[in-house]
């Protein structure tokens, strides 16, 4: 009996332990998580939905360490065969992560899922880390207009990608302090969510600009939002009435067979571009940059009709193939201050941007062309190279005499200046800087260039903080009698900077040049090529620099930057007069303040 009693007691004891184990096992855990998921704001579930960085693993692995945003986890029940990345895309906008790939990795780490796992099982429950309780709100970090910017350019697609984030971090590591990224490119594509009566459905690559800008600020980087203004293929295709009009057929005018240009003098076009710029300024960017703030420089100019010319008579037939410096048509006089003069049939505008697809000497992958335009030499007009000639100096030509007549009515340069005056007045109160990209050749002040582009540098300098001339050496075709301008960076950077400094003297505008970071039309492109441009630009009065590469390949600047930093104070240079750059940085106190989340909201 005694043995039997012992056995009965043992059996009862085992049964009790089994029940206890069952109650404390996965069944109870699952029920608890379901309760936690459904609870709104009870204290107990809050304890379970702690920020992932505090409950699972080090913050640097679970959420973007660069953002330092307060976040929480949320339980998600997977459907059968659902991919982790699909779930990440769905939740991305609600988290502190910048890309779906980052969030995918965060989900795997938070839930101890193997990196090789792609799909989840049916009803598998996972925690979504880094959730924000409110959208990110970022503020502009104000800097003086002479803040020394050291920047690279990124397309909107690149800026919103994992590769783009790696470029940004690497650029920061080697000494960069700014990034120029596309809001609207020259094809009219808008990279961000933007609602406007003139904008239809469009692809979005930067879904959350404040979050992206906060990331840049966390890297102590100046955020520059680039907007291509009047060259807008998307807008004119959906609204041809806003395009430049043809005098001949009263339809949308084509530049070399392509419908790409809005009418810069159309009030609706101007209001649309200013509305986009003002919207972006409110998203926390530090600077808005206008590109293509000009009239079309190619195509059949005599056929182009603009709103501002509505009450003006058509130019005389014998002068229609050339230009005057005031925006009328007539042949150019000799180039001022040393530029090589050519006839209107052969003049090309330097500092403009070819399209690799249109140029047999370059490809999109191997030789990224500068700022995505449609021709190898984006100039005033086309013609054969052998037709270049200077107008006689002994007497005025018939066309030059016509050009000496008093201008009638407003000119293209007046339209551009008027637009900039209005835009600057609306943007400046927001605290952002306004910078303008201009053709490098405009410093030569040739009548033919001014007549077509309307870029009067003297006027424009009064309605911006920074001028960024595109002084890529390879683009100075036929200038200064140099056969291969791309291989003479010191000459063309120096000459351009001298001229821009001269014609903007007294305006207070800062000259911050675009420099060549591509090997188009040069055999000497290298880290040394980069260093020559930076050194000469600084010696000639430039403050900071921007590197352009249409394919966002900055391998040469990545090598050159550390070398310049190491040699900055050698060979007679000193802290007050460095060889390459001063090394300005954003005020750290301001940046840190912008990263601190507000109490209970996860934003500041």
HEC sequence for 419-486: HHHHHHHHHHHHCCEEEEEEEHHHHHCCHHHHHHHCCCHHHHHHHCCEEEEECCHHHCCCHHHCCCHH
pLDDT confidence of residue 54 = 30
Range of weakest confidence among 278-282, 359-363, 560-564: 359-363
Least Cα distance to 457 among 417, 418, 430 occurs for 417
Reply yes or no on whether the pLDDT at 64 is more than 70: no
User: Looking at the domain assignment, is residue 227 inside a domain?
Assistant: yes
Are 60 and 106 members of one domain?
Answer: yes
User: Looking at the domain assignment, is residue 123 inside a domain?
Assistant: yes
Least Cα distance to 539 among 484, 599, 496 occurs for 496
Average pLDDT over residues 561-582: 90
Are 90 and 158 members of one domain?
Answer: no
pLDDT confidence of residue 401 = 46
Q: What is the CATH number of the domain that holds 582?
A: 3.20.20.80
Are 522 and 393 members of one domain?
Answer: yes
Reply yes or no on whether the pLDDT at 134 is more than 90: yes
- pTM here? 0.76
Are 167 and 38 members of one domain?
Answer: no
Average pLDDT over residues 57-75: 48
- Contact of 320 with 345, CB cutoff 8 Å: no
Higher pLDDT, 65 or 16: 16
User: Looking at the domain assignment, is residue 1 inside a domain?
Assistant: no
User: Looking at the domain assignment, is residue 340 inside a domain?
Assistant: yes
Reply yes or no on whether the pLDDT at 60 is more than 90: no
Instruction: Provide the residue range defining the domain that includes 106.
Output: 33-131
Domain boundary among 99, 131, 163: 131
Rounded to 10 deg, the angle between the 2-23 and 26-38 helix axes is: 30
Neighbours of 40 (CB within 10 A): 6
Are 197 and 166 members of one domain?
Answer: yes
| 564 phi-psi bin (left φ>0, alpha ψ -120 to 50, beta other) | alpha
pLDDT confidence of residue 373 = 36
Q: How confident is the model at residue 573 (pLDDT cuts 50, 70, 90)?
A: confident
Are 93 and 195 members of one domain?
Answer: no
User: Looking at the domain assignment, is residue 246 inside a domain?
Assistant: yes
In percent, the amount of the chain with pLDDT more than 90 equals 65
Average pLDDT over residues 179-195: 97
Domain boundary among 71, 96, 131: 131
Reply yes or no on whether the pLDDT at 65 is more than 70: no
Cα distances from 117 to residues 69, 104, 125, in angstroms, run: 27, 11, 14
Range of weakest confidence among 273-277, 352-356, 494-498: 352-356
In percent, the amount of the chain with pLDDT more than 70 equals 69
Q: How confident is the model at residue 543 (pLDDT cuts 50, 70, 90)?
A: very high
Q: Give the tens place of pLDDT for each residue, 188-213.
A: 999 999 999 999 999 999 999 999 99
Rg (CA), the chain: 30
User: Looking at the domain assignment, is residue 28 inside a domain?
Assistant: no
Q: Give the tens place of pLDDT for each residue, 308-345.
A: 998 665 554 334 334 343 333 332 223 233 233 333 33
Reply yes or no on whether the pLDDT at 28 is more than 60: no
Range of weakest confidence among 8-17, 32-41, 511-520: 32-41
Higher pLDDT, 595 or 445: 445
Reply yes or no on whether the pLDDT at 307 is more than 50: yes
Are 124 and 160 members of one domain?
Answer: no
Higher pLDDT, 46 or 564: 564
Reply yes or no on whether the pLDDT at 348 is more than 70: no
Average pLDDT over residues 270-287: 98
Higher pLDDT, 469 or 325: 469
- Contact of 300 with 237, CB cutoff 8 Å: no
Are 379 and 423 members of one domain?
Answer: yes
> What is the domain count for the chain?
2
Range of weakest confidence among 273-277, 396-400, 552-556: 396-400
Are 115 and 238 members of one domain?
Answer: no
Tell me the H-state helices in 489-526. Answer: 489-503
Higher pLDDT, 68 or 291: 291
Q: How confident is the model at residue 67 (pLDDT cuts 50, 70, 90)?
A: very low
Tell me the H-state helices in 253-374. Answer: 267-281
* Average pLDDT value for the chain: 78
Cα angle for residues 44, 46, 47 (degrees, 5° grid): 70
What is the separation, in whole angstroms, between the first and last Cα of the chain?
76
Are 175 and 80 members of one domain?
Answer: no
Are 260 and 303 members of one domain?
Answer: yes
Reply yes or no on whether the pLDDT at 61 is more than 60: no
User: Looking at the domain assignment, is residue 290 inside a domain?
Assistant: yes
Which helix (H) or strand (E) segment holds residue 7: the answer is: helix 2-23
- Contact of 191 with 234, CB cutoff 8 Å: no
Are 113 and 155 members of one domain?
Answer: no
Q: Give the tens place of pLDDT for each residue, 101-119.
A: 999 999 999 999 999 999 9
Least Cα distance to 298 among 415, 165, 452, 185 occurs for 452
Q: How confident is the model at residue 487 (pLDDT cuts 50, 70, 90)?
A: very high
Rounded CA-CA distance 491/95 in Å is 50
Reply yes or no on whether the pLDDT at 162 is more than 90: yes
User: Looking at the domain assignment, is residue 213 inside a domain?
Assistant: yes
- Contact of 466 with 485, CB cutoff 8 Å: no
pLDDT confidence of residue 590 = 54
């Amino acid at each position: 009996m005694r043995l039997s009693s012992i056995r009965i007691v043992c059996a009862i004891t085992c049964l009790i332990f089994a029940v206890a184990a069952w109650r404390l096992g996965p069944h109870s855990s699952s029920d608890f998580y379901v309760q936690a998921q459904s609870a709104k704001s009870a204290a107990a579930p809050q304890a379970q939905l702690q920020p992932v960085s505090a409950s699972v693993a080090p913050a640097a692995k679970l959420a973007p360490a660069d953002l330092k945003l307060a976040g929480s986890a949320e339980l998600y029940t997977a459907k059968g065969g659902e991919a982790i990345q699909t779930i990440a895309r769905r939740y991305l906008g609600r988290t502190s992560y910048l890309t779906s790939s980052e969030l995918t990795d965060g989900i795997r780490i938070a839930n101890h899922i193997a990196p090789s796992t792609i799909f989840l099982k049916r009803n598998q429950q996972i925690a979504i880390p880094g959730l924000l309780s409110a959208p990110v709100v970022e503020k502009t970090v104000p800097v003086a207009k002479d803040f020394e910017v050291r920047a690279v350019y990124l397309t909107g697609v690149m800026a919103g990608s994992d590769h783009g984030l790696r470029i940004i971090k690497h650029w920061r590591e080697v000494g960069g302090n700014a990034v120029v990224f596309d809001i609207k490119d020259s094809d009219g594509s808008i990279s961000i969510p933007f609602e406007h009566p003139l904008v239809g459905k469009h692809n979005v690559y930067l879904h959350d600009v404040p979050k992206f800008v906060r990331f840049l600020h966390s890297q102590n980087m100046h955020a520059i939002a680039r907007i291509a203004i009047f060259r807008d293929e998307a807008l004119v295709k959906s609204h041809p009435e806003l395009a430049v009009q043809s005098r001949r057929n009263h339809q949308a005018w084509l530049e070399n067979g392509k419908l790409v240009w809005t009418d810069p003098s159309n009030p609706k076009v101007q209001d649309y571009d200013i509305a986009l710029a003002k919207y972006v300024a409110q998203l926390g960017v530090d600077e808005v940059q206008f590109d293509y703030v000009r009239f079309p420089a190619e195509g059949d100019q005599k056929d182009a009709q603009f709103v501002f010319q509505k009450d003006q008579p058509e130019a005389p037939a014998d002068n229609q193939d050339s230009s005057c410096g005031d925006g009328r048509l007539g042949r150019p006089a000799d180039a001022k201050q040393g530029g090589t003069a050519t006839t209107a049939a052969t003049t090309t505008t330097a500092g403009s941007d070819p399209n690799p697809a249109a140029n047999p000497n370059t490809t999109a992958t191997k030789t990224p062309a500068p700022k995505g335009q449609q021709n190898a030499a984006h100039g005033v007009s086309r013609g054969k190279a052998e037709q270049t000639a200077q107008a006689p100096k002994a007497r005025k030509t018939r066309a030059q005499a016509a050009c000496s007549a008093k201008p009638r009515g407003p000119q293209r340069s007046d339209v551009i200046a008027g637009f900039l005056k209005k835009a600057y007045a609306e943007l400046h109160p927001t605290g952002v800087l306004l910078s303008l990209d201009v053709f490098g050749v405009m410093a030569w002040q040739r009548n033919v260039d001014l007549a077509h582009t309307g870029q009067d540098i003297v006027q424009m300098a009064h309605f911006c903080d920074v001028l960024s001339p595109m002084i890529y050496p390879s683009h100075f075709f036929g200038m200064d009698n140099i056969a291969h301008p791309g291989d003479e960076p010191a000459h063309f950077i120096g000459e351009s900077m001298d001229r821009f400094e001269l014609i903007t003297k007294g305006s207070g505008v800062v000259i911050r040049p675009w420099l060549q970071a591509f090997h188009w039309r040069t055999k000497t492109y290298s880290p040394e090529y980069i260093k020559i441009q930076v050194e000469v630009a600084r010696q000639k009065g430039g403050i900071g620099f921007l590197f352009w590469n249409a394919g966002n390949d900055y391998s040469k600047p990545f090598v050159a930057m550390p070398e310049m930093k190491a040699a900055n104070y050698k060979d007679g240079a000193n802290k007050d007069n460095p060889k390459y750059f001063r090394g300005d940085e954003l005020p750290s106190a301001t940046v840190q303040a912008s990263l601190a989340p507000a109490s209970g909201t996860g934003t500041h």
